[in-house]
Amino acid sequence: MKIKLLYGKNGLNINLPEDKTTVIAPKPVNLVSDPTEAVRQALRNPIGAQPLRDLISPKDTITLVFSDITRPMPYEIILPVLLEELSAVPKENILLINALGTHRPNTREELIEILGKDILDTYQVIQHDCHSKADLVSVGRSKHGHDLLVNRHYMNSSVKILTGFIEPHLFAGFSGGPKAVMPGISGFETITSNHSPEMIGDKDSRFTQTVGNPIWEDMNNAALLCQPTFLLNITQTEHREITGVFAGDLEKAHQAGVDFVKETAMVPVPSSHDIVISTSAGYPLDISMYQSVKGMVAASQVVKDGGAIILAAECAEGLPESGEYRDILSLGKSPDEVLDHILSPGFMMQDQWDVQLQAEICQRCSFYIYSDGLSDEEKRLAFAAPCHDIERLVDKLIKEYGDETRIAVLPAGPLSVPYIEQ
Separation of alpha carbons 135 and 268, rounded Å? 45
- Active-site residue among 103, 128, 146, 254? 103
Element (H, E) at 148: strand 147-151
Reduced to 3 states, what is the DSSP secondary structure of residue 324?
A: coil
- Active-site residue among 128, 169, 195, 254? 169
Query: DSSP letter string over 376-403?
Result: HHHHHHTT-EEES-HHHHHHHHHHHH-T
CB atoms inside a 10 Å sphere around CB 5: 23
C-alpha closest to that of 357 among 343, 373, 372, 374: 343
Residue 236 in contact with residue 243, Cβ under 8 Å?
yes
The bridge status of strand 242-248 relative to strand 230-236 is antiparallel
* Whole-number CA gyration radius for the chain: 21
CA distances from 347 to 29, 133, 203, 233, 353 (A): 44, 21, 21, 35, 12
Separation of alpha carbons 182 and 222, rounded Å? 7
CB atoms inside a 10 Å sphere around CB 389: 11
Residue 215 in contact with residue 172, Cβ under 8 Å?
yes
CB atoms inside a 10 Å sphere around CB 287: 22
- Give bridge partners of residue 136 from the DSSP assignment: 151
Is 103 a known active-site residue? yes
What residues have CB less than 8 Å from 189, skipping those under 6 apart?
147, 149
Active site residues: 103, 169
